[in-house]
Structure 1
Amino acid sequence: MPDVPFLDGILSADDVAHTARSIASVQEDSGAVPWFPGGHVDPWDHVESAMALSATGLFAEADAAYEWSRRTQRTDGSWPIQIRTGAIEDAGSDSNFCAYIAVGVWHHVLITGDDGFARRMWPCVRAALDFVLGLQRERGEIEWGRDVDGNSTGEALLSGCSSIHQSLRCGLALAELAGSPQPDWEVALGQLGHVVRGHPEVFASKRRYSMDWYYPVLGGAVRGEQGLRRITERWNEFVVPRWGALCVDDRPWVTGGETCELVLSLDALGERVRARELLAVIQHLREQDGSYWTGYVYEDDKRWPVERTTWTGASVILAADALSRTTPGNGIFRAEDLPSGLAVEAAACDCAADLRR
């Protein structure tokens, strides 16, 4: 049995294993991992849960989750936004949701070393990223999705594009392993990283959301001093002592998922002390069975929404793995050894963005 992540004084290995089992207990016979029993499945959170299963040695359950993704992928490379017990509830497509399969598959390969799994999943990842890049605009940003009629949404989101940046890097690593170079992806990745770093004007305004604050760091487009400055600028707006990170800056609502993603962002910047402190703080959302409440309205002393979500527990496991350096996949959010794409030359753009990573 592989080592299970743990952090002294915060989470024991048994604690983390209980959280993994709470996720596995919700998994459907099809392999799908819904938000909670009877809840819906979305492609992104499903993969996040599969990653947590891999990180805790539940490889059969993780394999079943990825097989569900492979089996339910549509011919254009996409997945529906929302499915419940096998029935499609929202047939539209979200580019970030679809791209994230590359992160999950590469993570599973890093942990298991299973080249057969990589070969089996490579066509699925390739089709998904080709679909996503069909939504890329000339400057580099990627529109967030298509509606049920196939029409693009007409706007790009900073958080989604930042996440796709990581997905493309993982996709390129898989392409190298598969012996199938994708030079167009390298160009697309360079353009995407450039607009995330230097062109905030191309994205729909979502400034009130903490995800727009930390995701450029989490997705790997913004790191180093630029990343530290970005996190410092709005730290006091989004981080509440004793409770965690807010979802939005105008509501007294902290959430486990956002807090743990911020933990991962801090770890990627080398800010491990602050990262550990945040992961410790968010344990107020933990239940006895190892599951986690989605969020907490601290002014009202209420859990909200009244649900314990698989992906919240998954984010805790992935944060614990990153900080503990336990599994071979612990560095995936630090972008260790991932391709960086082709840099956009300064002369090719009239902006004054710092293009250094």
Structure 2
Amino acid sequence: MSNVSSRVSLSDWGLEPAVDYIERVQRSDGLVPWYPDGPADPWDHVESAMGLSVAGRDEAARRAYDWIADVQHDDGGLWATYGETDGDEGAHAGDEPRKETHRSAYVAVGVWHHYQCTGDRAFLEALWPTVRDALAFACARQAPTGEVHWAVGADGAVYEDALIAGCASIYKSLAAGAAIADVLGYGDARDRWLETRADLGEAIRSRPDRFDRTWESKSRYAMDWFYPVLCGVLTGEPARQRLEAGFDRYLEAGLGCRCVADEPWVTVAESCELVISLAAVGEAERAREIYEWLFQWTDDEGVFWTGYQFEDEEFWPGDRPTWTGGAAVLAADALSGLSPAGELFTERLYD
């Protein structure tokens, strides 16, 4: 259940400027770049669209999901990044183009979220093929040991390693896809995705050796700490214990959550996702306290900076990402029930 009366509004939190900024940066084709004339990626694009949905900017949100449907590849995947590339799309300059499983699959969470906000069944039906194919792309890369491989190169080669945070995101995407399938009557797809999700959850909880096998461990990143809680892989007492174990390492009192444990930098988006994770385990008071710290990291318009480098005492990097505003809106929704989708991350589907 929501923790605070639904009478609390977006304006009460001072979040209208953040949503206005997302809508202002959105391109005419529906894509939401990170900032004006900047690059974009499908995961953060969806997070921005979710902020639009909470705010009732339904037409803008719908255009964001239509963009995904328009650019989705035949195999269900999406390029990891769009814009600021050597070519038209696919990678930042100097990087190899690739399609990442978690970034492609996350459209399922966004579509389910928009449906919860609007009750628009026609939207759900129209986006069903996009969701179906995106999840098929991710599921096809699941290893026999349960983890989902990270990415597919432009040549079709699979990067046979896995990320904790990325797989946790896929776990949430599979639950959202199953919920969509339930509404639309696709029971076979629902059952298949829930089976995949069960195997994936078991890998995240019990097979740490299946992650970060071919690159340096990502455990220094805060997302590895709280994403299994945020996405519902861990619930109840195990989830509370995991969060408690990381506070000394990642939380900077009065400032927010570090992006990386060994760097003097707090980021608004990770802090907001930690807030939602705390709300999911019943720690609403602590979640609200951390959330209220974050409004010191806005510009004169009320738009959030990426984060704050507290040794140098400066905003760094000097960008105002759209997806940071989206994360802030989702955190307020989890705390205050701003929309009918406020329980998306705090009430668990199929658990």
Match of 2:123 in 1: 117
User: Equivalent residues in 2 for 1:36-185 (5 A)?
Assistant: 36-84=35-83, 87-90=88-91, 91-181=97-187, 182=189, 183-185=191-193
Give the Cα–Cα distance (whole angstroms) in 2 for the partners of residues 261 and 121 of structure 1.
Answer: 26
Give the Cα–Cα distance (whole angstroms) in 2 for the partners of residues 317 and 13 of structure 1.
Answer: 12
Matched, 1:249 2:250: no
Q: SS of the residue aligned with 2:243?
A: helix
Letter paired with 1:115: R
Counterpart selection for 1:214 from 212, 226, 229: 226
Contact kept, 8 Å, 1:209 with 1:248, in 2: the verdict is yes
Match of 1:189 in 2: 197
Give the Cα–Cα distance (whole angstroms) in 2 for the partners of residues 84 and 207 of structure 1.
Answer: 29
Report percent identity of matched pairs: 41
Q: 1:284 Cα shift?
A: 1.5
Letter paired with 1:26: V
Give the Cα–Cα distance (whole angstroms) in 2 for the partners of residues 82 and 5 of structure 1.
Answer: 36
Question: Which stretch of structure 1 is more off in the superposition, 14-23 or 99-108?
Answer: 14-23
Segments of 5+ residues of structure 1 without an aligned counterpart are 341-357
Give the Cα–Cα distance (whole angstroms) in 2 for the partners of residues 172 and 244 of structure 1.
Answer: 34
TM-score (norm 1): 0.90
Give the Cα–Cα distance (whole angstroms) in 2 for the partners of residues 266 and 79 of structure 1.
Answer: 31
Question: Which stretch of structure 1 is more off in the superposition, 259-268 or 189-198?
Answer: 189-198
Contact kept, 8 Å, 1:5 with 1:56, in 2: the verdict is no
Match of 2:94 in 1: none
Q: 1:5 Cα shift?
A: 7.7
Contact kept, 8 Å, 2:8 with 2:338, in 1: the verdict is no
Match of 2:350 in 1: 339
Matched, 1:268 2:250: no
Contact kept, 8 Å, 1:22 with 1:289, in 2: the verdict is no
Give the Cα–Cα distance (whole angstroms) in 2 for the partners of residues 172 and 14 of structure 1.
Answer: 32
Mark the CA change 1:275 to 1:243 in structure 2 (over 3 Å): closer, same or farther: same
Give the length in aligned residue pairs.
Answer: 334
Give CA-to-partner distance per residue, 1:88-143, whole Å, 9 cap, x none. Answer: 04231011101110000000000100000000000100000000001100111001
Q: 1:67 Cα shift?
A: 0.6
Question: Which stretch of structure 1 is more off in the superposition, 87-96 or 50-59?
Answer: 87-96
Aligned-pair RMSD on alpha carbons? 1.7
Letter paired with 2:45: H
Q: After TM superposition, what 4+ stretches of structure 1 lie above 4 angstroms from structure 2?
A: 4-8
Give the Cα–Cα distance (whole angstroms) in 2 for the partners of residues 12 and 272 of structure 1.
Answer: 20
Mark the CA change 1:107 to 1:6 in structure 2 (over 3 Å): closer, same or farther: same
Give the Cα–Cα distance (whole angstroms) in 2 for the partners of residues 125 and 94 of structure 1.
Answer: 15
Q: 1:6 Cα shift?
A: 8.2
Give the Cα–Cα distance (whole angstroms) in 1 for the partners of residues 120 and 63 of structure 2.
Answer: 15
Q: 1:12 Cα shift?
A: 3.7
Give CA-to-partner distance per residue, 1:314-345, whole Å, 9 cap, x none. Answer: 10000001100121100101244x234xxxxx
Q: SS of the residue aligned with 1:119?
A: helix
Give CA-to-partner distance per residue, 1:152-184, whole Å, 9 cap, x none. Answer: 111100011111111000000001111112122
Contact kept, 8 Å, 1:5 with 1:321, in 2: the verdict is no
Contact kept, 8 Å, 1:296 with 1:302, in 2: the verdict is yes
Mark the CA change 1:209 to 1:59 in structure 2 (over 3 Å): closer, same or farther: same
Counterpart selection for 1:284 from 296, 304, 311: 296
Contact kept, 8 Å, 2:13 with 2:332, in 1: the verdict is no
Letter paired with 2:193: W
Give the Cα–Cα distance (whole angstroms) in 2 for the partners of residues 120 and 166 of structure 1.
Answer: 21
Contact kept, 8 Å, 2:149 with 2:160, in 1: the verdict is yes
Match of 1:353 in 2: none
Letter paired with 1:339: Y
Give CA-to-partner distance per residue, 1:48-76, whole Å, 9 cap, x none. Answer: 00000000010010011011011111111
Give the Cα–Cα distance (whole angstroms) in 2 for the partners of residues 275 and 281 of structure 1.
Answer: 10
Give CA-to-partner distance per residue, 1:182-227, whole Å, 9 cap, x none. Answer: 1221211110111111222211121111100000000101011000
Give the Cα–Cα distance (whole angstroms) in 2 for the partners of residues 334 and 239 of structure 1.
Answer: 21
Letter paired with 1:72: V
